[in-house]
Amino acid sequence: MKCVIEGKNVKVFGRAVQALSRVGDELWLDPTVKGLALRSVSSAQSAYACFIFSPLFFQQYSLGGAPKQSSETVKCKLLLKSLLPLFRCLTSIERNVECCQISVSASSDWVVFQFFCRHGITKTHNLRFQEKEALQAEFASRLCRNVLKAPARLLGDVVMHFPLFQEEITLSTTPLRFSLRNYEDSSESQVKMMYTEMSLHPDEFEHFQVDVDSKITFCLKELKGFLSFTESHCLPVSVHFDSAGKPVCFSVEDLLFEATVVLATLTDPESTDSIQPAGTQVHATSRCVDVAALHVKTHRADEESASVNASPASSVICALLFKAVSSEQDDGVCAATPPVLAGDTDDEEMMEELCPRSPSP
Partner 1 sequence: MPLSTQCQDDDKKYVLVASLDNARNLSNILKAITFKDHAIFTATSNGLQVTVEYCKTLQASAFIQTEIFQEFTIKEDLVAFQINLTVLLDCLNIFGGSPVAGTSTALQMCYKGYGYPLTLYLEEGGVVTVCKIKTQEPEELIDFDFCSTNVINQVILQSESLKEAFSELDMTSEVLTITMSPSRPYFRLSTFGNSGNAHYDYSKDSDMMEMFRCTKTQTNRYKMSLLKPSTKALALSCKVSVRTDNRGFLSLQYLIRNDDGQHSYVDFFCCPDEEGEEE
Between residue 234 and residue 273, which ones bind partner 1 under the rule CB under 8 A? Answer: none
Establish if 276 lies at the interface with partner 1 (CB under 8 A).
no
124 binds partner 1 (CB under 8 A): yes
Judged by beta carbon, residue 120 or residue 359, the one nearer partner 1 is 120
Quote the radius of gyration of the chain (alpha carbons, Å). Answer: 21
Among 125, 149, 233, 357, binds partner 1 (CB under 8 A): 125
What is the C-alpha to C-alpha distance for residues 14 and 34, in angstroms, rounded to an integer? 20
Least gap, CB of 130 to partner 1 (angstroms): 12
Considering only the stretches 25-33, 55-63, 126-134, 342-350, report the one whose residues sit in contact with partner 1 under the rule CB under 8 A: 126-134
Residue closer to partner 1 (CB basis): 128 or 323: 128
Is 189 an interacting residue with respect to partner 1 (CB under 8 A)?
no
- Closest approach of Cβ 226 to partner 1, in Å? 25
SS (H, E, C) the chain: CEEEEECHHHHHHHHHHHHHHCCCCEEEEEEECCEEEEEEECCCCCEEEEEEECHHHCCEEECCCCCCCCCCCCCEEEEHHHHHHHHCCHHHHHHHEEEEEEEECCCCCEEEEEEEEHHHEEEEEEEECEECCCEECCCCHHHCCEEEEECCCHHHHHHCCCCCCCCEEEEEEECCEEEEEECCCCCCCCCCCCCCEEEECHHHCCEEEECCCEEEEEEHHHHHHHHHHHHCCCCCEEEEECCCCCCEEEEEECCCEEEEEEECCCCCCCCCCCCCCCCCCCCCCCCHHHCCCECCEECCCCCCCCCCCCCCHHHHCECCCCCCCCCCCCCCCCCCCCCCCCCCHHHHHHHHHCCCCCCCC
Please report how close the Cβ of residue 140 comes to partner 1 at its closest, in angstroms.
Answer: 37
- Site for partner 1 contains 96 (CB under 8 A): yes
- Indicate which single residue of 99, 127, 143, 284 sits in contact with partner 1 (rule: CB under 8 A): 127
| 149 binding partner 1? (CB under 8 A) | no
Binding mask 71-90 for partner 1 (x = CB under 8 A): --------x-xx--x---x-
Q: Per CB under 8 A, does 145 bind partner 1?
A: no
Residue numbers 211-240 binding partner 1 by CB under 8 A:
none
Report the nearest approach of partner 1 to the CB of residue 119 (Å). 5
Interface with partner 1, residue 123, by CB under 8 A: yes
CB nearer to partner 1: give 111 or 266: 111
Q: Please work out the total of residues on this chain that contact partner 1, with binding judged by CB under 8 A.
A: 18
Q: Which of 68, 91, 107, 120 binds partner 1 (CB under 8 A)?
A: 120
Residues making contact with partner 1 (CB under 8 A): 79, 81-82, 85, 89, 92, 96, 110, 119-128
